[in-house]
Chains A and B, each alone.
Chain A
Amino acid sequence: MEYTCILCPRGCHLTAEKVMEEGKKTIKVSGNFCPRGIRYATEEMTMPMRTVTTSLYVEGGDMKMVSMKTAAPVPKERIPQVLEAAAKAQAKAPLKVGDAILKNVAETGTDLIATRNVAAARG
């Protein structure tokens, strides 16, 4: 299988294949400039993971929306459920980068966290 590594802007073109090594099934990756590419291609073959980023209305803030992300990558196939849960979440200012807005979002084991500071509205 061929993949484009998305873990950094370099975007290495990766080739991954399942091989038998010393009687064990493993995945052999080539084309990666750094070791992270091996992890990426292996995950793409087994369970592709993505970080989800979105934004949400925030109550009582000095701005309308707070941006959010999943604190860790989630399985790609779970993205629709994550987005659905994220859209229904509620956020209230003040918020700081890293504050959890939704714990264990869509049962992924990962929190949805704020990615910016939102101060409380003045007055």
Chain B
Amino acid sequence: MIRTLNTVIVGGGPAGLSAAVAAFDAGERSLLIVERDVHLGGILQQCIHNGFGLQWFKEELTGPEYAQRFIDQAEERQIESVTGTMVLEIRQDPQNAPYDKTVFCLSPSEGVLELRCRSVILSMGCRERVRGNLKTPGTRPVGIYSAGLAQRLVNLEGVMPGKKVVILGSGDIGLIMARRMTWEGAEVKMVCEIMPYSAGLARNIQQCLIDLNIPLHLSTTIVNIHGRDRLEGVTIARVDEKRNPIPGTEQYVECDTLLLSVGLLPENELSRALGVEMDPVTGGPRVDENRQTSIPGVYACGNVLHVHDIVDFVSKESTIAGKSAAAYNLQSQSGAEQVTLKAAGAVRYTVPQMASLEEPFSIFCRVAYPVSSGKFLVKAGDQVILEKKFIKAVPSEMEEIPVRKAELEKILSTGAGELTLETCLD
């Protein structure tokens, strides 16, 4: 079946839902959300813990409640969605202009859907790094799960993966699962983190580990996995500054379950095949301040763009993308000349990576390692355009640096084609 629409939103998680609502509120009525799961809501459905929504809704919600609010908003607006539907390919088809993008999907009830549209919003989210991406030696017994898979099993399927648990990686999902598994009766022996600092939020260290007396071993990794059919134990060891295991520090820990919480990767097979330019650091597309990718009319938001620690930021970002797509459909954004944004110093990456400088916007960034007391500097050449102080900045938390109207003018007056965002420590 062939359908013609203004905007197709690929992914019905928090990013896609927020983008759809924002596009609708900006006047766009011809919208379709395509979701591969049977329900909308994405990963939030399994994030049953609370702590979401303080910024966006000004109250503390659980993941499913946060998702439900957006599902309700989409329903109130009668925004159309198809679930259980997999997007196979997104293509540029200039001969169909202005509906020059085609989204091919596979729906169990309708077969192949060919959606021709003016704009596409990429909101496919991310997936977990798995063991194949790690270099842990040892056998391959049953009992090794990514933390997110374990979360799905426990919270959505009602299945407990095991009784004695070791968690590798201190990402937030791993911390949340340490508490969840304990609450379901498992013994969580420890969380091992190869870095000298935690990858998760301080509040989760407190309420998921300290509250439950679960030790967190920093600068520690797993050097061996034991057990033939079922996992029987792991060998942990301390690592040096170069993250190499220190001989003589090995210790055997008995366990039947190993959870890996070693990071998330934006899920961009569709974006790559479509041909949008990618940022090797974020693993997501390069975008401007409207969240437009290198292909006009193709937008990206949420974890597909870069991994967020807080869903409220996803909604904020996706609102920008949704509004921009609506404006694009009306041809009301000029997409004027752009500057590129570069990360320097302790700054690992920025989003956006380019800007048209039409309106005030915010630069979001993440640092590569923890730094304390200093400032972020936005520079055009040697000239400092703006600065923002920080007491501490850590890799697990995203920073926002607003660029206001006066500063935009300052940038434009320099005529610079490139801006750098760097750190300057006191």
Q: Which residues of A contact B (CB under 8 A)?
A: 3-9, 11, 13, 50-55, 57, 63-65, 67-69, 76, 79, 83, 97, 115-117
- Are the CB atoms of B48 and A53 closer together than 8 Å? yes
CB-based nearest A residue for B205: A4
A117 cross-chain contacts in B, Cβ below 8 A: 68, 71
| B62 CB within 8 Å of chain A | yes
Within the complex, which residue of A5, A55, A76, A83 is in contact with B155, where a contact is CB–CB below 8 Å?
Answer: A55
CB-based nearest B residue for A67: B48
- Are the CB atoms of B211 and A50 closer together than 8 Å? yes
Within the complex, which residue of B54, B64, B67, B158 is in contact with A9, where a contact is CB–CB below 8 Å?
Answer: B54
A4 cross-chain contacts in B, Cβ below 8 A: 202-203, 205-206, 210
Within the complex, which residue of A11, A13, A54, A83 is in contact with B201, where a contact is CB–CB below 8 Å?
Answer: A11
Within the complex, which residue of B64, B154, B203, B211 is in contact with A8, where a contact is CB–CB below 8 Å?
Answer: B203
With contacts A116-B64, A116-B68 taken as known, whether A51 is within 8 angstroms of B156 at the C-beta atoms is no
- Are the CB atoms of A11 and B202 closer together than 8 Å? yes
| B358 CB within 8 Å of chain A | no
Number of interface residues of B (CB under 8 A): 34
With contacts A57-B158, A65-B156 taken as known, whether A115 is within 8 angstroms of B62 at the C-beta atoms is yes
A52 cross-chain contacts in B, Cβ below 8 A: 183
Q: Which residues of B contact A (CB under 8 A)?
A: 39, 45, 48-51, 54, 60-65, 67-68, 71, 154-158, 183-184, 201-203, 205-207, 210-211, 309-310, 397
B51 cross-chain contacts in A, Cβ below 8 A: 6, 8-9
Interface of B is mostly: helix
A67 to B45, CA, bound (A): 9
CB-based nearest B residue for A55: B155
Q: A65-B158, A116-B65 are in contact. List 7 more A-B contacts (CB 8 A).
A: A4-B202, A4-B210, A11-B202, A13-B202, A53-B62, A55-B158, A116-B64
With contacts A8-B54, A55-B155, A65-B156 taken as known, whether A115 is within 8 angstroms of B203 at the C-beta atoms is no
Q: Find the residue from A13, A67, A79 having the highest chain B CB count within 10 A.
A: A67
- Are the CB atoms of A51 and B48 closer together than 8 Å? no
Give the Cβ gap from B73 to chain A, nearest Cβ, in Å.
13
- Are the CB atoms of A9 and B206 closer together than 8 Å? no
CB-based nearest B residue for A57: B158
Within the complex, which residue of B155, B207, B309, B397 is in contact with A6, where a contact is CB–CB below 8 Å?
Answer: B207
- Are the CB atoms of A65 and B157 closer together than 8 Å? yes
B205 cross-chain contacts in A, Cβ below 8 A: 4
B65 cross-chain contacts in A, Cβ below 8 A: 97, 115-116
A83 to B186, CA, bound (A): 13
